[in-house]
Structure 1
Amino acid sequence: MADTGQWCLIESDPGVFTQLITDMGVEGVQVEEVWDFDTLAQVEPIYGLIFLFKYEAGASDRGAAMAVDTEAANEAAMDSIFFAQQVINNACATQAILSILMNRPDVELGEELTQFREFAQSLPSDMKGLAISNSDKIRQVHNSFARSETFSNEQPVTANDNEDLFHFVSYVPIHGALYELDGLQPRPVYLGPCTEKDWLEKVRPIIEARMASYSSSEIRFNLMAVCKDRSLVLAEQLAATDRRLTRAQKKLSRLVQTLHGERDLLSMFLSDEREKLARYRTENARRKHNYIPLIYTLLQQLAAKGKLADTLPEARQKAAERKARQRQAKQPTSKP
């Protein structure tokens, strides 16, 4: 590989990768470690997966061996993929991250990476890798996560012959197809068609098969999801819930007002009904009462006081008027 400035080893850690992405000017993206494929739904939307495995002879070819016949792939789509070959040691972590970021139109790259993508997009894959290695911004951000040494910080820490080597590859849905982007391969590895909804289901057996290809004693694998900033996702979900709550409160308020109106109307009907029943009871009580002794006594009192003769003409007059009104009410109304 070319020597275009020394690149350090960086820790495979979601916090490190998240900060690395942020320091490159990308906003709204974070990295989450994946312990179980069944929990991936908790961190959606996911832009891509980064898989770390122990590098052995032929280890990188194991992924390519699972490729679908490239003739089935859309060659025009393949050419539009941002794919960079790794041309320098220790750069695979950053290249795996860039392989996802550069191929997702729904990620805001920021000014510097946007300009870099526009500059490098038309270059062949080996020249893309060289452009990444020669980018002062990308290299400086990468090397800012160098592991500290006790007595010297003058040079970034790199792998030596006594250390196991590990390699990062990316899995990304691009143009309706699933790809493995491995800088040690000559081109993207086409893994078949997919959609944004099912690509995680399709990549799962591929990654599991790669892990199974190692001996049972090898457990040093790491899988990380490059996803939308969880704080943004949760803030959006909270805002959506608040909007639903506001709508529900308005609906409830209207319902409460409607129910209050119905209650007032029913209360009025109930009051009228109770008054009517009370009137019925009073009238029925009067119908059952014998008023003749009372009337006889009143007449005697009036006669004794000499007032009965004075009230008779007036009583007769009123009786005559009442009969006249009754006769008039019984007569049919003539039509014009």
Structure 2
Amino acid sequence: MSDAGNWCLIESDPGVFTQLIAEMGVSGVQVEEVWDFDNIANLNPVYGLIFLFKYDQNTAADTMELDQSQHSTTTDHVFFAKQVINNACATQAILSILMNRNDIDLGKELVQFREFAQDLPPDMKGLTISNSENIRRVHNSFARSEAFVNEQQPASGQDEDLFHFISYVPIHGALYELDGLNPAPINLGPCTDADWLSKVRPIIEARMATYSSSEIRFNLMAVCKDRTLVLTEQIDAADRKIENAEKKLARAVQTLRSERELLSVFLSDEQEKRERYRSENARRKHNFIPLVNVLLRKLADKDKLAELIDTAGRKANERAARRRELQQQQVQQQGPAR
């Protein structure tokens, strides 16, 4: 691995990584720090994980020797780049996730970069990253005078802790560990988009357990869909549910109103019937025949009798037609409501 050259150290921070990804032209992606695996599902969809840990060359060599059987022999479907320069492991870990996802809008420049480098061997991919003016410019724009991450041996020769970034990402039905210091990707077994987070958890926890109890300097970050987009989509979905519920409620209210109107007609009929009963019962107690005969003769003499008969018949027909109309509306509206 070459010297740091003109690649600076950058801070392990989700805000830095989110802005770095955006300035590389990627849309709809952000980085969130993971404090608790139990709550990581709240960030779904999660595209990949970036793990920062203290780097021990002796431990790393032992781990690489144990993991040789897991190194993928076929990497055509995995975008894997060797890390050929110092200080670039943060950006390389991010690219390891972005380059292996087909559900991320990479932007024009990274799409062209992936198309150019896809078929290159891992070491040439690493050189292509190091020689990318756009990627190096964005990376160096986040330079800090004091950074948490340090992959360089101090010039003084004194011991200093080194830290390193690696990525975990599901690719074509398998969980991969992508570490630019390894010769190839490590296939950690089959997975799906639904269960890969549960499968990577014990792997990361086991890696942390290899350190002494006094070592707590770990950092885990999730590369996930932009939460503003996720929340906006959820709000839109809630609005659609509200609209559908309001439409169903409006239909139900209209049905109930029709039912009420029909019941009101029935009630009016019943009230009229009761009034008629009272009138009829009153007439039963009195002899109105002489009076009726006189009235009918008077109405007939004035040519009013036929008009009154027509009016009474028309009102009776109108009430009957209205009842039929309301009954028909009730049947039609109750059908879709069920």
Confirm or deny a common fold (TM above 0.5).
yes
Provide the C-alpha distance between the structure 1 equivalents of 2:137 and 2:103, rounded to a whole number of angstroms: 26
- Name 1:167's counterpart in structure 2: 164
Report the TM-score when normalising by structure 2.
0.78
Report the TM-score when normalising by structure 1.
0.79
- Name 1:241's counterpart in structure 2: 238
1:50 maps onto 2:50 in alignment:
yes
- Name 2:248's counterpart in structure 1: 251
Aligned residues: 285
Query: Residue 152 of structure 2 contacts residue 162 of structure 2 at CA under 8 Å; is this kept in 1?
Result: no
- Name 1:2's counterpart in structure 2: 2
56-65 or 81-90, which deviates more: 56-65
- Name 2:219's counterpart in structure 1: 222
Provide the C-alpha distance between the structure 1 equivalents of 2:195 and 2:76, rounded to a whole number of angstroms: 23
1:37 maps onto 2:52 in alignment:
no
Query: Residue 76 of structure 2 contacts residue 119 of structure 2 at CA under 8 Å; is this kept in 1?
Result: no
Instruction: Quote how far apart the aligned CAs of 1:2 are.
Output: 2.1
- Name 2:28's counterpart in structure 1: 28
Provide the C-alpha distance between the structure 1 equivalents of 2:166 and 2:129, rounded to a whole number of angstroms: 16
TM-align CA RMSD: 2.5
Query: Residue 87 of structure 2 contacts residue 151 of structure 2 at CA under 8 Å; is this kept in 1?
Result: no
| Structure 2 unaligned regions, length at least 5 | 292-338
Provide the C-alpha distance between the structure 2 equivalents of 1:9 and 1:183, rounded to a whole number of angstroms: 17
- Name 1:313's counterpart in structure 2: none
Distance 1:48 1:157, change over 3 A: closer
Q: Secondary structure at the match of 2:15?
A: helix
Provide the C-alpha distance between the structure 2 equivalents of 1:21 and 1:236, rounded to a whole number of angstroms: 22
Provide the C-alpha distance between the structure 1 equivalents of 2:168 and 2:48, rounded to a whole number of angstroms: 6
Give deviations 1:134-157, integer Å, cap 9, x for gaps: 1111111111111137xxxxxx99
Instruction: Quote how far apart the aligned CAs of 1:6 are.
Output: 2.3
Provide the C-alpha distance between the structure 1 equivalents of 2:108 and 2:236, rounded to a whole number of angstroms: 29
- Name 2:132's counterpart in structure 1: 135
1:285 maps onto 2:282 in alignment:
yes
Q: Secondary structure at the match of 1:18?
A: helix
Q: Which structure has the bigger radius of gyration?
A: 1
- Name 2:270's counterpart in structure 1: 273
Letter in 2 for 1:218: E
- Name 2:111's counterpart in structure 1: 114
Instruction: Quote how far apart the aligned CAs of 1:239 are.
Output: 1.1
| Structure 1 unaligned regions, length at least 5 | 150-155, 299-336
Query: Residue 87 of structure 1 contacts residue 129 of structure 1 at CA under 8 Å; is this kept in 2?
Result: yes
Give deviations 1:211-253, integer Å, cap 9, x for gaps: 1110001000000000010101111111111111111111111
Query: Residue 7 of structure 1 contacts residue 158 of structure 1 at CA under 8 Å; is this kept in 2?
Result: no
Query: Residue 92 of structure 1 contacts residue 168 of structure 1 at CA under 8 Å; is this kept in 2?
Result: yes
Give deviations 1:287-321, integer Å, cap 9, x for gaps: 3x2549x98xx9xxxxxxxxxxxxxxxxxxxxxxx
